[in-house]
Amino acid sequence: METANFGSNISNLAHTTDKQAAPFGQTVSAMAHGKKTSESPSLDAAIVNTNLSLSVGDANSSLTLVLKTALEGINAELAPTLGSGAIQAAVDTGIDVSPEATAERIVSLSTAFFGAYQEANPELDFDTALNQFVDVISGGIDQGFAEAREILDGLQVLTGDIASNIDTTYQLVQDKLSAFVDNLSSEPEPAEQSAEQQLGLE
């Protein structure tokens, strides 16, 4: 993965450029576009918008970027099984980007594809499919958070509330993924239902 080089390139650029000036945002966007040529250009816009918003004191934009990079990371991980762009996430202006809301959105959008993952892997038993699915989306989530941190570090804003909000969001995502696994693991599979339940007598 080229995240480290990408982040260091932005960091170097940030040290030599006036971040308030438009060319900085355009250059960051161009760098991101070159790094993610096979993905949607919407990440470029998210990076530029985050840079501009943070320059005027809107710290919530960092979590918008986290959401975008996390969902694109999940998309990349699910692509071999479910095809490209499994999660078409539009990060709208005005949405709640608190750590709790961002974590809920990441987990709910990604775990909604568990049924499709099962259908694409019919040879797997329920528990194996569940564990493999969570491993796959966790890899995408980790990649997305790492990229967001690298970008924000390159913009020299990965400090204070921004850093702690990202850490809080990441931990909430992990907690919600664990709850997702626990909830599904405790539910009986259809084949395990009693005859009375199958006949609708209970």
Res. 171 pLDDT band, cuts 50 70 90: very high
What does the alpha-carbon distance between residue 92 and residue 7 come to, in Å, rounded to a whole number?
A: 25
Domain edges within the chain: 3-83+94-187
pLDDT tens digits, one per residue of 47-76: 556 555 555 455 566 787 788 888 888 888
pLDDT tens digits, one per residue of 114-168: 999 999 999 999 999 999 999 999 999 999 999 999 988 888 888 888 899 999 9
As a whole number, mean pLDDT of residues 4-29 equals 51
- Cα–Cα distances (Å) from 162 to 106, 122, 138, 197, in that order, read 18, 42, 22, 50
What does the alpha-carbon distance between residue 24 and residue 83 come to, in Å, rounded to a whole number?
A: 34
Res. 6 pLDDT band, cuts 50 70 90: low
pLDDT tens digits, one per residue of 74-97: 888 888 887 766 665 444 445 677
Q: What is the pTM of this model?
A: 0.61
What does the alpha-carbon distance between residue 127 and residue 39 come to, in Å, rounded to a whole number?
A: 31
Position with higher pLDDT, 12 vs 194: 12
Res. 31 pLDDT band, cuts 50 70 90: low
